[in-house]
A and B are shown apart, each in its own frame.
Chain A
């Protein structure tokens, strides 16, 4: 089983849609969790950290479920500019990147 698993997608959604991604991790000792965004042929950029109590940043909401060992990212009111690959990152004794989920928002 991979340490961090994501559905690779692609998720093709119309503008204005709500879309959710999940990410599962295998190491129960994982300490912290993050979502990164990577545009085509660009570097990854931190989108948001994921806290135990859940957190929201504008249209983006991240949740952590330690019991089931997964994190989620919800994007509301999708914009064309949200099209990118979303990478789940889990920190145990080092950062482990998931394979990423590709999102394509169409007009």
Chain B
């Protein structure tokens, strides 16, 4: 079982809805990540939080808004999404701030935008 917990596992939303994805880890990791993965494609980095500060934003559209309330929690707020935003959204954590390569992924939140 993964030690990174994501909720919800599945989400269907309309283009005018506002929703949030949540991620939690209790491994004492100091970096947390959001990745987006489309079918048969590799994960694409969206955001990195290192020691609770946003350190990387991969030019993600503003309809995706990350939030890191504390070192264990990471949220992704969604607003006015497009159907092409439908994907698996993966949260990950790593021990140190910044990328070390040893990422622990959650099971993902599968998002469908109608």
Contacts and interface: CB of A to CB of B under 8 A. Distances in A.
B49 interface: no
B101 A32 contact: yes
B48 to A, nearest CB: 8
Contacts of B90: 43-44
A91 interface: yes
Interface residues of B, number: 19
Interface string B68-91: 000000000000000000000010
A91 B99 contact: yes
Nearest to A31: B101
Interface stretch (A13-21, A56-64, A65-73, A92-100): A92-100
Given A43-B106, A49-B102, A100 B56 contact: no
A25 interface: no
Contacts of B101: 32-34, 46, 49, 89, 91, 95
A97 B99 CA distance: 12
A96 B105 CA distance: 15
11 contacts: A32-B100, A32-B101, A43-B105, A46-B104, A49-B102, A91-B101, A93-B99, A95-B99, A95-B103, A97-B43, A100-B42
Given A44-B90, A93-B99, 11 more contacts: A32-B100, A43-B90, A43-B107, A46-B101, A49-B102, A87-B42, A94-B56, A95-B99, A95-B103, A97-B42, A97-B43
Interface of A: 32-34, 42-46, 49, 87, 89, 91, 93-95, 97-100
